[in-house]
Amino acid sequence: MGVRYANASVPAVHDVDLAIEAGQFAVLLGPSGCGKSTLLRTINRLVEPTSGTLLIDGGDVRERDATELRRGIGYVIQAVGLFPHYTVAQNVGVVPKLLGWEQVRIDARVDELLRLIRLDPARYRDRKPRELSGGEAQRVGVARALAAQPRVLLMDEPFAAVDAIVRASLQDEIARVHRELGTTIVFVTHDVDEALRLADRIVVMNAGHVVQTGPPAEILEHPADDFVRDLVGVDAETRRLALERPLIER
Ligand SMILES: Nc1ncnc2c1ncn2[C@@H]1O[C@H](COP(=O)(O)OP(=O)(O)OP(=O)(O)O)[C@@H](O)[C@H]1O
Ligand SMILES: [Mg+2]
């Protein structure tokens, strides 16, 4: 599968041959402009491949209605993108409402998700996005993406805009969501430590190519080439040791 944007001289994503298994936490890792967001966005058809095919559950995504497909795939972007005039509860409930859930079921789901992301429903459900901190808004973005229990969750640098402490707690939360719900997650970052912390499988990209895929320990111990070695190389030993401790303690 490849993507070449109109008028671009080179493809943004070259012939990528990649299978992500159900229930996996896959992290796309690589420098700015290497094609991570482009590859991610082909999964929910925000970008169409210009060569090859992309299959979900064995079916070509092009044969699915794009709107219906997107309702079944949670998507979190860096800019969060909450609707400013909606309350937190309305933001989180937006997809269930589109799917025609009854209001009582939506309300119960919203409260459940707010507790999951550790925001007290009584305090937060009626606030507007402008009344939230950046980290709280990002958590609400995560809750919204999870609302209709998507089996696939796409996250494009979702924690880039928060400080290190909030970032660590959001990482713990998404790891817990993954563990508890078994959601397939494709997560984009250019932060090596974030990738090592979260991934079952890291997909390293460079200049539109996938240069290596494997579990974090394998990427650290057997980098495929100089690019990967340089990417993880600084403090590789410290990073390898950190992997041996469970996430919750890190
Ligand atoms: N809509 C577009 N039209 C044309 N070119 C684009 C478009 N979107 C991205 N590109 C180009 O495609 C390449 C890959 O972009 P992409 O956004 O996928 O990179 P990225 O790895 O997500 O980078 P970053 O870490 O900065 O977000 C870049 O060269 C970019 O300039
Ligand atoms: Mg990007």
Q: Name the CA dihedral angle for 47, 34, 232, 78, rounded to a multiple of 10 degrees.
A: -50
Q: pLDDT tens digit string along 127-136?
A: 999 999 888 8
Closest ligand to C-alpha of residue 77 is 2
Q: How many CB atoms lie within 10 A of CB 211?
A: 17
pLDDT, residue 165, reads 78
Give me the mean pLDDT over the 205-217 stretch. Answer: 96
- Report the distance separating Cα 145 and Cα 176, nearest Å: 15
Q: pLDDT tens digit string along 147-185?
A: 988 989 999 998 876 778 778 888 988 898 899 889 999
> pTM for the complete prediction?
0.89
Ligand 1 atom 3, closest CA: 5
Q: Tell which residue, 108, 105, 146, has the closest CA to residue 125.
A: 108
> Ligand 1 pocket: which residues have CB below 6 Å?
5, 8, 12, 30, 32-38, 190
Ligand 1 atom 25, closest CA: 32
- Report the distance separating Cα 63 and Cα 116, nearest Å: 34
Residue 25 pLDDT exceeds 90: yes
The CA 12 to ligand 2 mean position distance, Å, reads 11
Q: Tell which residue, 1, 48, 34, has the closest CA to residue 189.
A: 34
Q: How far apart are the first and last CA of the chain?
A: 37
Closest ligand to C-alpha of residue 8 is 1
Rounded (to 5) percent helix, strand, coil in the chain: 45, 15, 40
Q: pLDDT tens digit string along 66-120?
A: 988 888 898 988 667 899 999 999 999 999 999 999 999 999 999 999 988 889 9
pLDDT, residue 142, reads 87
Which domains does the chain show, CATH number per domain? 1-72+152-250 (3.40.50.300), 80-150 (no CATH)
